[in-house]
Amino acid sequence: MDKLKRVLSGRDAEEPSGLAEVIDATSLSWSTRVKGFVACFAIGCLCSILGSCLLWIPKKGLVLFAVFYTLGNIFFTILHLEVFCIYW
């Protein structure tokens, strides 16, 4: 009934959804997204390379490799999400 009253009174504008409010509140500028892209790329590369190098350390090398390689992949995933959000 409220919707019908809004339409008949000329106030047909839809209220923004919760998702639209979140997207508007968290929008980043182009330069901030590029800085985040570069930072995630550099940290991801560093963690992956460091993990590969630490693989050859006796006893704890495998654990260090797993930790740093996983961190590198997490940063690369964040990187891909940022790229997706830039063009979204």
Read off the amino acid at residue 19.
L
Residue ranges making up the domain that contains 77: 38-88
- Is there a domain that residue 50 lies in? yes
- Is there a domain that residue 15 lies in? no
Q: Which segments of 1-88 does DSSP mark as H helices, in order?
A: 2-9, 18-25, 30-54, 61-86
Q: Report how many domains make up the chain.
A: 1
**What is the pTM for the complete model shown?**
0.59
Q: pLDDT (tens digit, 0 to 9) for every residue of the chain, 88 residues total?
A: 666 666 666 655 555 566 566 556 666 677 777 787 888 888 888 888 888 888 888 889 999 999 999 998 888 888 777 666 655 5
- Is there a domain that residue 71 lies in? yes
User: What pLDDT, on the 0 to 100 scale, is given for residue 63?
Assistant: 92
- Is there a domain that residue 81 lies in? yes
